A and B are shown apart, each in its own frame.
Chain A
Amino acid sequence: MSTKIDAKNISNTASEKNDWNQNDDDDWDDWGDAEENFEDTPDSNFLEDNVAKGNINAENNNSLQATKKTVEEPTQDFNKNKEKVTEVRKTENIITATTQKPTSGWGGLFGGVVSSVLSTASEGIGNITSTMSQGLNQVIGVPDPEELARMQAAETAKLHSELKVDDNHVEQKVLKDNQQHRVQEQQEGTPSFGLNIVSGVTTLGTKVLNTGLDTLEGIGKKTMHILQENDPLLMNKRKLLGLEQEKPNLSEVLKEAKKDADHLENALKEMKLEKSREMLRFDLLFENNCGLVHLEALEILSKESVLKLQKLQDAVSGNALKELQETITEVKELMELEDLEGESDGDYDVGELNTRLISAIEDAELQINFDDIISNWRQALEWFKSAPVNGTHDTVQETFAKSITLLAEACALQINKLHKIAELLLVKEHHSTANEVDCIVQLCKQFTMHLNGLTNRFAATLTGIQLDAQTETDDIIKTRISTLFAEMLVAIQQIEKAFHLFLPILQIGAV
């Protein structure tokens, strides 16, 4: 009984398997069998597959029906049962056979990949060999032409005798005088060696030999031609070869290799320099000093304040609304009253800067200091003290790097400060808006002036650099200075942006 059930189970699974569309779904699990069907074309495969499938279907149906029958008829017939089992096995066999079939797709794919890989590889090798042969031409001296000729003659004779044997073996009825004629030809120096005679018999080998020899001959002729230019008797070259054999040539190769390595190294160095130069951009340095994120945070506070103002306006009506709107407009007008721009030559010390900044903000009554901005300016002043008066291209680059770094840092610190002031204003209990507006205006003005002053001082230093070599170097200084001023304008724009973000923050304090 158990065998019967097993048989049924198996046949069931078999038929289930069979119902899958083998062409599509079974492709993937035949990975391991790919080699077997490597050369099958997909079309023939498909056909075979279909045929096989049909067979299985038929057989399977049979076996299924048969098993059903046995279940219905409880009287046991072992022989029949055994038959069924074998039938099922057969089906299984066929299934495995078919599952192995539709794999040439993979094979094809692999073939493609492999051949492309090979072709790439051989391309590479081709390049290498050509380079090598070039190198060899430079290195290995060409042997004495007389010797060359002698060697050639010997080789020709040898080859010819071999060929002769060949001919005798294969073509017994070739005319002897014909051969003799060819021998004559070759001994006179004709390079074709009469290989045509035997080409019908020894096809591949001779072909290869032929082309190889032809190429060699071509190279030889060309070399001789070049060697004999302006030196028909090769006297000079012979002397050269005799005196300095392989030694100097070897060192030449080493020199060449070193040159290549140096070239690569220089390229890498250049790349690093390029990278560090790319790092010398205001926006990057500004971000690295957290200037951008402080500005972003200030923007968040500003937007939040706008929302709060909106809510307030929505909540009130009538006279209260009118009053509110008047206050808001008033603050706006106050903010727009003054121009932020200011010129400065940067001729002040840290104390002076500190006093100016403190006095600008003091009416806002905030606990704030400018230590970091002061320290940045101190650094700059220290640098100016020992500023280079003359130097090279590198000096200019170094000064420029210092200036852009300090400019970005100063600007980032200023934005940081403005953000802090905004935060403190927002948590402040009592406001005197008129004072606050004035303070922000004055402070932003001082900030832009300081950025201007810092840039002017660095520009003056750059202009003052006397360059050692007066070749196209003036241009370098000019470009650096104009870049510096362009970056200063970007820095001032950041301060202006921050200033505009202050408006709703001051307005919310006023209402």
Chain B
Amino acid sequence: MVEPIFDYQFRLILIGDSTVGKSSLLKFFTDGKFAELSDPTVGVDFFARLMEMKDGTQIKLQLWDTAGQERFRSITKSYYRNSVGVLLVYDITNYASFEHIPLWMMEAQRHIEPHRPVFALVGCKLDLVNAGGRREVTTEEAQSFANQNGLHFVETSARNGVNVEEAFRMVTQEVYTRIRSGEYKVEDGWDGIKTGFARPNSLDFNLVMAEPEKSSCC
């Protein structure tokens, strides 16, 4: 359960071919668990987690896990617009999923315009490669694609949790930095960034606030 106390809410979206591991990545990130089997996502699913920035700012991440299946493509596009961060997810052991990344990126850019989201390139299933499996996408190739397009890049494993936290942290940190620099703002009619509930400042404040509440419900 996410505490209702946070300073900002960022909406991040995960896109990429089906079965690359978007849902598993999110499952590990929010639950710390890896599911051996999982049903293909229908439309979109949601996850949430709180993340603390270096300066103590609490960020609630609302994570939109889109279906990779072709048949849902028409509706998942509708969900792009209100995102401030996009994780482009591919499978390290599946070259086709990496080949489609530029298409996914263009789609996202087109739908999120005029907003300019933070993009990150995330390779999944690193554990399969480390266990002697066949790697189809080299780190160098992915890294150079990321450099060319100004993307953050990381290779992860949802099975053992390698770099999962980092993948989300680098996007969140970048969004937060852009808020601090004034590049991003909270806007009406756009849900990419929202401000959270105010944090009570002091003990006294809490006690004062508690009084009327008590009398009304006891």
**Chains A and B come from one and the same complex:** yes
Q: Does B148 have its Cβ within 8 Å of any Cβ on chain A?
A: no
- Mark out the residues of chain B between 37 and 85 whose CB falls within 8 Å of any chain A CB in the assembled complex: 42-44, 46, 48, 62, 71-72, 74-75, 78-79, 81-82
Contact with B along A181-204 (1 / 0, CB 8 A): 000000000000000000000000
Is A427 in contact with B4, judged by CB distance below 8 angstroms?
no
Is A288 in contact with B46, judged by CB distance below 8 angstroms?
no
Q: Does A423 have its Cβ within 8 Å of any Cβ on chain B?
A: yes
Q: Does B210 have its Cβ within 8 Å of any Cβ on chain A?
A: yes
Is B75 in contact with A301, judged by CB distance below 8 angstroms?
yes
Is A279 in contact with B210, judged by CB distance below 8 angstroms?
no
Q: Does A316 have its Cβ within 8 Å of any Cβ on chain B?
A: no
* CB within 8 Å for A271 and B46 given contacts A284-B4, A300-B78, A427-B74: no
Is B75 in contact with A423, judged by CB distance below 8 angstroms?
yes
Instruction: Give the residue name and chain of the B residue nearest to A366 (CB).
Output: B42
Is B42 in contact with A423, judged by CB distance below 8 angstroms?
yes
* CB within 8 Å for A301 and B217 given contacts A284-B4, A290-B46, A423-B42: no
B207 CB contact (under 8 Å) in A267, A294, A423, A427:
A267
Q: Does A341 have its Cβ within 8 Å of any Cβ on chain B?
A: no
**B84 CB, nearest partner CB in chain A, Å:** 15
Is B78 in contact with A288, judged by CB distance below 8 angstroms?
no
Q: Does B199 have its Cβ within 8 Å of any Cβ on chain A?
A: no
- Mark out the residues of chain B between 110 and 154 whose CB falls within 8 Å of any chain A CB in the assembled complex: none
Rounded to whole angstroms, the CA-CA distance of A476 and B82 in the bound complex is 44
Rounded to whole angstroms, the CA-CA distance of A338 and B42 in the bound complex is 29
**A268 CB, nearest partner CB in chain B, Å:** 8
Rounded to whole angstroms, the CA-CA distance of A279 and B213 in the bound complex is 13
Rounded to whole angstroms, the CA-CA distance of A288 and B47 in the bound complex is 10
* CB within 8 Å for A271 and B207 given contacts A300-B78, A427-B74: yes
Instruction: Give the residue name and chain of the B residue nearest to A303 (CB).
Output: B78
**B61 CB, nearest partner CB in chain A, Å:** 12
Is B213 in contact with A274, judged by CB distance below 8 angstroms?
yes
B210 CB contact (under 8 Å) in A270, A293, A304, A419:
A270
In the bound complex, residues from chain A placing their C-beta under 8 Å from that of B42 are: 420, 423-424
Instruction: Give the residue name and chain of the B residue nearest to A422 (CB).
Output: B43
Rounded to whole angstroms, the CA-CA distance of A426 and B74 in the bound complex is 9
Q: Does A483 have its Cβ within 8 Å of any Cβ on chain B?
A: yes
Q: Count of A-B contacts with CB under 8 A?
A: 55
- Mark out the residues of chain A between 247 and 273 whose CB falls within 8 Å of any chain B CB in the assembled complex: 267, 270-271
Is A290 in contact with B207, judged by CB distance below 8 angstroms?
no
- Mark out the residues of chain A between 23 and 69 whose CB falls within 8 Å of any chain B CB in the assembled complex: none
In the bound complex, residues from chain B placing their C-beta under 8 Å from that of A152 are: none
Contact with A along B194-218 (1 / 0, CB 8 A): 0000000001001100100110011
Is B2 in contact with A288, judged by CB distance below 8 angstroms?
yes
Is B62 in contact with A293, judged by CB distance below 8 angstroms?
yes
Interface size on B, residues (CB 8 A): 26
Most buried by A among B44, B62, B79, B203: B44
Q: Does A479 have its Cβ within 8 Å of any Cβ on chain B?
A: yes
Q: Does A163 have its Cβ within 8 Å of any Cβ on chain B?
A: no
* CB within 8 Å for A277 and B75 given contacts A419-B43, A423-B43, A424-B42: no
Rounded to whole angstroms, the CA-CA distance of A172 and B206 in the bound complex is 69
* CB within 8 Å for A426 and B62 given contacts A271-B210, A420-B42, A483-B217: no
Is A304 in contact with B217, judged by CB distance below 8 angstroms?
no
Is B207 in contact with A301, judged by CB distance below 8 angstroms?
no
Most buried by B among A274, A301, A419, A483: A274
Rounded to whole angstroms, the CA-CA distance of A293 and B65 in the bound complex is 12
Rounded to whole angstroms, the CA-CA distance of A164 and B62 in the bound complex is 86
Q: Does A297 have its Cβ within 8 Å of any Cβ on chain B?
A: yes
Most buried by B among A270, A274, A427: A427
Contact with A along B6-49 (1 / 0, CB 8 A): 00000000000000000000000000000000000011101010
**B21 CB, nearest partner CB in chain A, Å:** 21
Is A300 in contact with B79, judged by CB distance below 8 angstroms?
yes
A-B contact pairs, 30 of them (CB 8 A): A267-B207, A271-B203, A271-B206, A271-B207, A271-B210, A274-B206, A274-B210, A274-B214, A277-B217, A288-B2, A288-B48, A290-B46, A294-B46, A296-B191, A297-B43, A297-B44, A297-B46, A297-B79, A300-B78, A300-B81, A300-B82, A301-B75, A304-B78, A420-B43, A423-B75, A424-B43, A426-B74, A426-B75, A479-B218, A483-B217
- Using a CB–CB distance below 8 Å, which chain B residues touch chain A? 1-2, 4, 42-44, 46, 48, 62, 71-72, 74-75, 78-79, 81-82, 191, 203, 206-207, 210, 213-214, 217-218
Give me 17 other A-B pairs in contact (C-beta within 8 A), A424-B42, A424-B43 excluded.
A271-B207, A271-B210, A274-B214, A278-B213, A288-B1, A290-B48, A294-B46, A300-B79, A300-B82, A301-B78, A419-B43, A420-B42, A423-B42, A423-B44, A423-B75, A427-B71, A479-B217
